[in-house]
Structure formats: structure tokens, C-alpha cells
Amino acid sequence: MKVHILLGPPGSGKGTQAKRLVEKFNLNHLSTGDILRDAVSKETEIGRMAKAIMASGKLVDDDTVNGLVFARLQQGFEGDVLFDGYPRTLQQAKALGEFLSTQMIGLGNVVNIAVPDGVLEARVVGRRVCSNNDCGAIYHVESKPPKQDGICDLCGSPLKHRSDDTAEAFRSRMADFNASFQPLLGFYEHQPHYRSVDGNLAPEQVFESLVQLFPESA
Ligand SMILES: [Zn+2]
């Protein structure tokens, strides 16, 4: 068993690429959300702690997240594991490194899907969504415009620009994200397992570059 890590900013398509890698290489897909729900439903000790933290309205702290992840890894896996959304902070990355070496678990690929902030911003700001909740079709003013301006191709409802999709909202989210992400990236960048792929390409091409990195170790 080896542990692989997929990193990337929100909007990089990381979640979709993770799913495809998991299918292609038969990996175990691990997200902290899934581990958390599992531990809470099984009422493990750390699951009960996490539940109490969430019930008090707080974010689950690094030590608790690490504890949940390590407990899950200790149960073992058949085949390799792909982390998606973990580690999220420098503290988590350091603790994971120590855990893996004490458990003699190998670190496989650490891959970052790199997309410039400006490109992410253009993706977000140009997004238009169908106002009909039953439809929910997503468009982009440049890369995927509707046939008729402002109207959904599928159901004819007006398209809307969500308040989360403004440049201001995007920049504020990115500033929060980068405050944790840049130190995390700095930690991995100088390690031999680290690779970066160009995320400013079509999803199919991004997937191809990811596939090139995996066969050896998966
Ligand atoms: Zn629609």
C-alpha cells in the first residue's frame, strides 16, 4: 500500500480527475469528508470527538482530522490510496509524513494540478447557471455559451450569475485558500515525490498528464 496525494485549487477540476484516476488504477479514494462521516456513523472514539466539535459549530481542527485519517489508514487497504482534499495545511502534511514513516507506509505521487489564479478567476466569473433548480445546467460566457444569450439551452429558463461567482467573492476565497495552500505546496515542492501538471488545459489533456505519472507506482 502506498499513499498518493492530489493537490489543486478549487476550480482546478481536482475532484473529477481524482475520480477518474481511482477508476483507472483501482485506487482507494479517500476524502476527509467520507472518513469523517464513516467515523461518526461507527461511533469510534475520535468520531465522537469530531461530532462534538462540529455540534459546537467549530471547524474540525488539524489534530482531529489527522487522527481520523491515521485511524482509517491503520485499518489497512488493499491497493494504493489516493487522498483528495487532504492534507490541507502544512501541519497536516508534516504529521502525515511522520505517520507514514513510523508505519512504514510509502508515499507515492504528490501531484499538484497547477492553474494560475487569473485562469481560475476567468472560469468562475464567466460561469452562468440555469435558474431552474430542477435543471441546474452550467454555462460559461466564453467556453460554453448558450445558443441564445442568457437562456438555458435545455429548459429555456433564464441563466443567472451567482453571487459566489463574482471576482470579489472569488478573490476572497482564494486568499483564504492560499494562506494554507502555499505553505503546504512549499513543503512538498522540494520533495522527490512531487510533480506538477499543467491544469490550464482541457480536462482530457490534464488526465493524460496525470496518467503518465501513475503507472509506475500504482
Ligand atoms: Zn435549464
Residues recognised as catalytic: 14, 88, 127, 162, 173
Q: Is the pLDDT of residue 74 over 70?
A: yes
Q: Is residue 157 part of a domain?
A: no
Confidence at 34, pLDDT banded by 50, 70, 90: confident
Q: Residue 30: beta bridge partners? A: 83
Rounded Cα gap, residues 153 and 145, in angstroms: 9
Residue 207 lies in a domain: yes
Mean pLDDT of the chain: 93
Cis peptide before 203 (omega within 30 of 0): no
CA of 17 to the centre of ligand 1 (A): 26
Q: pLDDT tens-digit profile of 12-27?
A: 999 999 999 999 999 9
Q: What is the pLDDT of residues 139-179, one digit of tens each?
A: 999 999 999 999 999 999 999 999 999 999 999 999 999 99
**What count of other Cβ atoms lies within 10 Å of the Cβ of residue 107?**
19
Residue 97 maps to a domain: yes
**Is the pLDDT score of 59 beyond 90?**
no
Residue 124 within any structural domain of the chain:
no
pLDDT band per the 50, 70, 90 thresholds, residue 58: confident
pLDDT digits (tens, 9 = 90+) for 159-168: 999 999 999 9
CATH classification of the domain holding 26: 3.40.50.300
Contact indicator for 127, 138 with CB cutoff of 8 Å: yes
d(CA 158, CA 133): 11
- What is the distance in A from the centroid of ligand 1 to the CA of 211? 34
Range of the domain at 70: 2-115+176-213
- pLDDT surpassing 90 at residue 55: no
User: In this structure, what C-alpha cell is assigned to residue 64?
Assistant: 482531529
* 150 CA from centroid of ligand 1 (Å): 11
DSSP conformational letter for 27: P
Q: Look at residue 12 and tell me if it is in a domain.
A: yes
Label residues 154-180 b or e (16+ Cβ within 10 Å = b).
eeeeebeeeeebeeeebeebbeebeee
- Residue 17 falls inside a structural domain: yes
Three-state DSSP at 7 gives strand
Ligand 1 centroid–CA 67 distance in Å is 43
Q: What is the pLDDT of residue 216?
A: 56
Count of structural domains, the chain? 1
Task: Decide if 158 is inside a domain.
Answer: no
pLDDT tens-digit profile of 178-217?
A: 999 999 999 999 998 999 999 999 999 999 999 999 865 5
CA atoms of 158 and 123, how far apart (whole Å):
20
- E-only strand ranges, 155-216: 159-160, 194-198
- The answer as to whether 49 is a domain residue is yes
pLDDT reported for residue 116: 94
Tell how far the Cα of 151 is from the centroid of ligand 1, in angstroms: 8
Residue with cell 469530531: 50
